[in-house]
Chains A and B, each alone.
Chain A
Amino acid sequence: MVQYLLMKIFRALITVTLIVSAAFVVLRLSGDPAIIILGPEAPPEAFAAFRKNWGLDQPIWVQYFKYFGAVFHGDLGNSMRDGRSALVVVGERIPLTLAITLPALFIKLCIGLPAGVTAALYRNTWVDRLIMMVSVAGFTVPSFVLGLVLAMIFAVWLGWLPSGGSDTWAHAVLPTVTMGLVGAAVIARFTRSAMLEVLGQPYIRTASAKGLLWRDVVRNHALPNAAIPTLTIVGFLVGSLVAGAVVVESVFSWPGVGRLLVNAVANRDLAVVQVILLLVGLTMVGANLAVDILYGIVDPRLRIKRLQAGS
Chain B
Amino acid sequence: MTIDTTPNLEPARPAETGGSVFTSKSGLRAFFEAWPPLVLIALLWIGLIAVVVIAAMWIAPYDFMALDLRARLIPPVFMGGTWAHPLGTDELGRDVLSRLIVSIRISMIIAFLSTVIAAIVGVTLGFVAAYFRGRIEQVILMLIDAQAAMPFMIIALAVLAFLGSSLMLFTILMGFYGWERIARISRGLAISANERGYATAVRDLGATPFRIYSRHILPNIASTLIVSLTLNFPEVILLESGLSFLGLGVQPPMTSLGNMVGYGRDYIQSAPWIMLAPSAAIVVTTLSISILGDWMRDKFDPTLD
Establish whether residues A193 and B246, one from each chain, have CB atoms under 8 Å apart when the complex forms.
Answer: no
The interface residues of chain A lying within 8 Å CB-to-CB of B291 are: 136
In the docked arrangement, what's the CA distance between A120 and B24, Å?
A: 31
The interface residues of chain A lying within 8 Å CB-to-CB of B8 are: 123-124
In the docked arrangement, what's the CA distance between A20 and B158, Å?
A: 13
- Shortest CB-to-CB span from A52 to chain B, Å, is 24
Interface code A186-227, partner B: CB below 8 Å = 1, 0 otherwise? 000000010000010000110010000011001000000000
In the docked arrangement, what's the CA distance between A143 and B242, Å?
A: 8
Establish whether residues A149 and B279, one from each chain, have CB atoms under 8 Å apart when the complex forms.
Answer: yes
Residue B146 interfacial (CB < 8 Å):
yes
- Find A15's partner among B145, B153, B268 (CB 8 Å cutoff): B145
- Shortest CB-to-CB span from A148 to chain B, Å, is 6
The interface residues of chain A lying within 8 Å CB-to-CB of B272 are: 152
| Interface-lining segment among B109-117, B209-217, B280-288 | B280-288
The interface residues of chain A lying within 8 Å CB-to-CB of B178 are: none
Interface code B246-283, partner A: CB below 8 Å = 1, 0 otherwise? 11100000000010010001001100100100010011
Closest to B162 in A: A30
The interface residues of chain B lying within 8 Å CB-to-CB of A26 are: 158-159, 162-163
Report how many residues on chain B are interfacial, defined by Cβ distance under 8 Å.
Answer: 48
- Find B265's partner among A137, A148, A199, A205 (CB 8 Å cutoff): A148
Closest to B158 in A: A277
Residue A131 interfacial (CB < 8 Å):
no
Establish whether residues A215 and B157, one from each chain, have CB atoms under 8 Å apart when the complex forms.
Answer: no
Known contacts A30-B162, A142-B241; is-contact A121 B5 (Cβ 8 Å)? yes
- Find A148's partner among B159, B242, B268 (CB 8 Å cutoff): B268
Residue B6 interfacial (CB < 8 Å):
yes
Known contacts A15-B146, A243-B154; is-contact A268 B279 (Cβ 8 Å)? no
| Interface-lining segment among A59-67, A70-78, A86-94, A258-266 | A258-266
Establish whether residues A145 and B7, one from each chain, have CB atoms under 8 Å apart when the complex forms.
Answer: no
Establish whether residues A144 and B4, one from each chain, have CB atoms under 8 Å apart when the complex forms.
Answer: no
Tell me the dominant secondary structure on chain B's binding face. helix
Residue B49 interfacial (CB < 8 Å):
no
Residue B12 interfacial (CB < 8 Å):
no
Known contacts A121-B3, A156-B268; is-contact A264 B161 (Cβ 8 Å)? yes
Establish whether residues B145 and A261, one from each chain, have CB atoms under 8 Å apart when the complex forms.
Answer: no
- Shortest CB-to-CB span from A222 to chain B, Å, is 10
Establish whether residues B287 and A193, one from each chain, have CB atoms under 8 Å apart when the complex forms.
Answer: no
The interface residues of chain B lying within 8 Å CB-to-CB of A284 are: 149-151
Residue A151 interfacial (CB < 8 Å):
yes
Known contacts A26-B159, A26-B162, A29-B163; is-contact A145 B149 (Cβ 8 Å)? no
In the docked arrangement, what's the CA distance between A269 and B157, Å?
A: 12
In the docked arrangement, what's the CA distance between A156 and B261, Å?
A: 17
The interface residues of chain B lying within 8 Å CB-to-CB of A11 are: 145
Residue A280 interfacial (CB < 8 Å):
yes
Establish whether residues A273 and B158, one from each chain, have CB atoms under 8 Å apart when the complex forms.
Answer: yes
Establish whether residues B4 and A288, one from each chain, have CB atoms under 8 Å apart when the complex forms.
Answer: no
In the docked arrangement, what's the CA distance between A270 and B261, Å?
A: 27
The interface residues of chain B lying within 8 Å CB-to-CB of A204 are: 7
- Find B7's partner among A151, A199, A281 (CB 8 Å cutoff): A199
- Shortest CB-to-CB span from A101 to chain B, Å, is 13
Interface code B29-40, partner A: CB below 8 Å = 1, 0 otherwise? 000000000000
- Shortest CB-to-CB span from B82 to chain A, Å, is 24
Establish whether residues A18 and B3, one from each chain, have CB atoms under 8 Å apart when the complex forms.
Answer: no
In the docked arrangement, what's the CA distance between A193 and B142, Å?
A: 27
The interface residues of chain A lying within 8 Å CB-to-CB of B247 are: 262, 266
In the docked arrangement, what's the CA distance between A244 and B2, Å?
A: 35
Closest to B272 in A: A152
The interface residues of chain A lying within 8 Å CB-to-CB of B157 are: 246, 261-262, 265, 273
Establish whether residues A268 and B150, one from each chain, have CB atoms under 8 Å apart when the complex forms.
Answer: no
- Shortest CB-to-CB span from A207 to chain B, Å, is 10
Residue A38 interfacial (CB < 8 Å):
no
Closest to B242 in A: A247
The interface residues of chain A lying within 8 Å CB-to-CB of B290 are: 136, 140
Interface code B1-24, partner A: CB below 8 Å = 1, 0 otherwise? 111111111000000000000000
Residue A49 interfacial (CB < 8 Å):
no
Interface code B282-303, partner A: CB below 8 Å = 1, 0 otherwise? 1100110011000000000000
Establish whether residues A145 and B4, one from each chain, have CB atoms under 8 Å apart when the complex forms.
Answer: no
Known contacts A261-B157, A262-B248; is-contact A27 B146 (Cβ 8 Å)? no
Residue B160 interfacial (CB < 8 Å):
yes
Residue A122 interfacial (CB < 8 Å):
yes
Closest to A22 in B: B146
Closest 3 CB pairs of A and B: A243-B151, A240-B151, A30-B162
With A266-B246, A276-B154 given, name 11 new contacts (CB 8 A): A23-B158, A140-B283, A142-B282, A205-B9, A215-B3, A239-B151, A243-B152, A262-B246, A280-B151, A280-B154, A284-B149
